[in-house]
Structure 1
Amino acid sequence: MSVMVDRPTQQLRKVQVRRPTAPLRRERPRLYAIDGIRLLAALMVAVHHYAGTWRVNQPGNAVWVRPASDIMPTVFRFASYGWIGVEIFFVISGFVICMSCWGRSPRQFFVSRVIRLYPAYWFGIVFTTAVVVALPGVWDRLKLRDILLNLTMLQSGSHVDSVDGVYWTLWSELRFYLLFLVVVATGLTYRKVVLFCCVWGAAAMLAPVAEFHLLTLAANPDGAWFFIAGLALYLMHRFGQDLLLWGILALCWLMGQRELGIRIDEVEHVSGWRGSFLIFTAFLLAMVAIALGATDRIRWKWLVTAGALTYPLYLTHYVAGTTVINRLKDTMDARLLVVSVIAGFMVLSWLVHRFVERPVARVLKRGLDTSFARLRNAA
């Protein structure tokens, strides 16, 4: 006996198998808390350079003459950990670059990076060089041809010293941008960014043992894990958390603590690993809270301005600031001098942002947009 089943009933009984899809995007308001962390990181770096480096703690140093730990021991104890602000910048950079590039073309990505990086950087080179020329004795002046090469931001690739030592981080940033541009060119998706994190992480693990210079240059093992952490955090922010993203972040946390230890042993020499690891861990937890929306209620408008000051502050504070400290060290209490110099450079940073960055960026954007339009329409 046959059983007749009508066509609609058959369709209802069919088991529909759906492909897994990428997580849905979650709309979030502006992340004011990140602007606040950026300013905090910049202040950490500035205090470190003025009162917490191995250099300023040597007898007869060119800044304070006496060791900073003798002049202000409590400040030195805390300032010696301020260098971690650089690693914080790298994580934030990974987060912000991924956020700002989503849905943009390679041309838009390139233009946005040029107008963001170069105006304040060019000012920093001119300003710092002028200070070194006007107030000699603390820092050596570079040759003119090296100063001119610095204007490209590519001096590290030519083994040329930077006008200001803090510019070494820009070389790491540029290499990150170049790698990420490949993903931007293919169109950013959740899957592609995750794959990029995994491939870059693998390259960063292999580079130290491969002894292949090109791989080390591209993989940037010193900074890769911090940038990757920022990318994973942004994916959490945009699409929500999952085990894979937590795994990437955990790996970055474990590999990052190793990089902190290496930097302490080879460069800093003034702070302990445990304290550095604790600060780094606390920062990552704060970034997780931001990524998951715990700080969305923070909407203080002044934080936008504070975040805008961090880049010019970072570019101008070190060489010029330590030179000023050397000239004024005998005129007031050392702690008051550090606070005063930082306050002065924050004012300078606002002026640079208002009267250099913004107008020059507008001119550059118009010029680059016109140039790319001409290139696109050229025969």
Structure 2
Amino acid sequence: MTGLTFTPRSQPLAVPAAVGRRPRLYVLDGLRLFAALFVALHHFAGTARADRPGNPIWGRPVSEIMPSVFRVASYGWIGVEIFFVISGFVICMSCWGRSPREFFVSRVIRLYPAYWFGVLFTTGVLAAFPGVWERLAARDVLLNLTMLQSGSGVGNVDGVYWTLWAELRFYLLFLVVVAFGLTYRRVVLFCCVWGAVAMLTPVVGFPPLRLIANPDGAWYFIAGLALYLMYRFGQDLLLWGILGLSWLMGQKEIGTRIDTVEGVSGWRGAVLIFTVFLLVMVAIASGKLDWVRGKWLVTAGALTYPLYLMHYAAGTTVINRLRSEMDARVLILVVLAGFLVLSYGVHRWVERPLAGVVKRGLESAFARQGRVGG
């Protein structure tokens, strides 16, 4: 495997040649599951809502019930930022050499089958066990099946779905680059242009531009793209500059999120976790973690998306019903284990079969479009 090299300053910067094909990055599967579990722990035992007196999840502040768990769980929200960085890396990796049509099909079959189940599952749980979360009207639940509810001003069936709206906007932007064909230069240019627009958008104050640029999440996706370019082509000063700027902008967004949304964790601790994660990603990009392997990691990665989709509203509802039946720490472990088992079932018997059906249908429709024309 080709080692990573730096372009000497005395020489003009040339586009690096791609390194040879590398093995599957099993470590990313493990990181994704870790991030999902960290987010779930936060939602169960580390949110400001769960720490209020008389809250519907635990009945009293979770910091009084299990203070040590609360201190750790209060930082679990950073798992979302970890997701975004990994998404930038993986999307760039999986789309290299693909056509826009292939990119579109791959995203649809990856996102929608498990999501459809998650919407219906969570709606059913909230209908059967009311009192913790307000259930949406039927028409709003149906709109949620499109994954476009945030663009229509409609609430989410589960609060975690807000991240999918950020992911969709990233995909639509990156589709432009995919349409032209992914190259080192084009992805770097995309990172620079998107970053510049995301930086200026809060000052401009133009809502449509903010919607497209997604300044709250852009720099995490950009960091992932830069890390993948490091992985594929090797390191250079330009990619380190993009990654460094992403860290600087990211730490500012982390502080803003703590001040305006989370309110339960410290900025220093959150930035430390984010920094350590980026260093791990640099190690992955440099090939230093290629030795991490194991089929169980592939399964772990497959559980991540269904777990993320289903754990929050349904999981806190289960905690509400069982909180007086067992120790709080044991209850969290039982709920997490239960959702991991459920997630495997969804992946095995819902996501995979339905993804195959949707893929064949879309490919048939595109083939028909090519034959009919017009």
TM-score (norm 2): 0.96
Cross-structure match for 1:302: 296
| Distance in 1 separating the partners of 2:321 and 2:293 | 40
Cross-structure match for 1:237: 231
Contact kept, 8 Å, 2:15 with 2:185, in 1: the verdict is: no
Letter in 1 for 2:354: V
Structure index of larger Rg: 1
One of 334, 337, 350 as aligned partner of 2:328: 334
Cross-structure match for 2:51: 57
Cross-structure match for 1:149: 143
**1:126-145 to 2 correspondences below 5 Å:** 126-145=120-139
Cross-structure match for 2:218: 224
Which secondary structure does the structure 2 equivalent of 1:317 belong to?
helix
CA deviations on 1:81-106 (whole Å, 9 max, x unpaired) are 00000000000000000000000000
Contact kept, 8 Å, 1:90 with 1:226, in 2: the verdict is: yes
Contact kept, 8 Å, 1:261 with 1:273, in 2: the verdict is: yes
One of 357, 361, 368 as aligned partner of 2:362: 368
1:94 aligns with 2:88: yes
CA deviations on 1:79-133 (whole Å, 9 max, x unpaired) are 0000000000000000000000000000000000000000000000010000000
| Distance in 1 separating the partners of 2:365 and 2:133 | 40
| Distance in 2 separating the partners of 1:30 and 1:213 | 40
| Distance in 1 separating the partners of 2:21 and 2:242 | 23
Cross-structure match for 2:4: none
Change in 2 beyond 3 A, CA 1:137/1:293:
same
Unaligned segments of structure 1, at least 5 residues:
1-17
> Offset of 1:334 from its aligned partner?
0.2
Cross-structure match for 2:106: 112
**1:39-58 to 2 correspondences below 5 Å:** 39-58=33-52
Cross-structure match for 1:67: 61
Change in 2 beyond 3 A, CA 1:20/1:257:
closer
| Distance in 2 separating the partners of 1:86 and 1:92 | 10
Cross-structure match for 1:162: 156
Which secondary structure does the structure 2 equivalent of 1:244 belong to?
helix
Cross-structure match for 1:5: none
Contact kept, 8 Å, 2:114 with 2:347, in 1: the verdict is: yes
CA deviations on 1:224-273 (whole Å, 9 max, x unpaired) are 00000000000000000000000000000000000000000000000000
1:255 aligns with 2:220: no
One of 237, 240, 246 as aligned partner of 1:246: 240
**1:196-215 to 2 correspondences below 5 Å:** 196-215=190-209
Change in 2 beyond 3 A, CA 1:242/1:21:
closer
Letter in 1 for 2:123: T
> Offset of 1:25 from its aligned partner?
2.9
**1:343-354 to 2 correspondences below 5 Å:** 343-354=337-348
Cross-structure match for 1:273: 267
TM-score (norm 1): 0.94
| Distance in 2 separating the partners of 1:217 and 1:51 | 31
Contact kept, 8 Å, 1:52 with 1:82, in 2: the verdict is: yes
| Distance in 1 separating the partners of 2:82 and 2:120 | 27
Contact kept, 8 Å, 1:23 with 1:239, in 2: the verdict is: yes
| Distance in 1 separating the partners of 2:51 and 2:300 | 30
Contact kept, 8 Å, 1:26 with 1:239, in 2: the verdict is: no
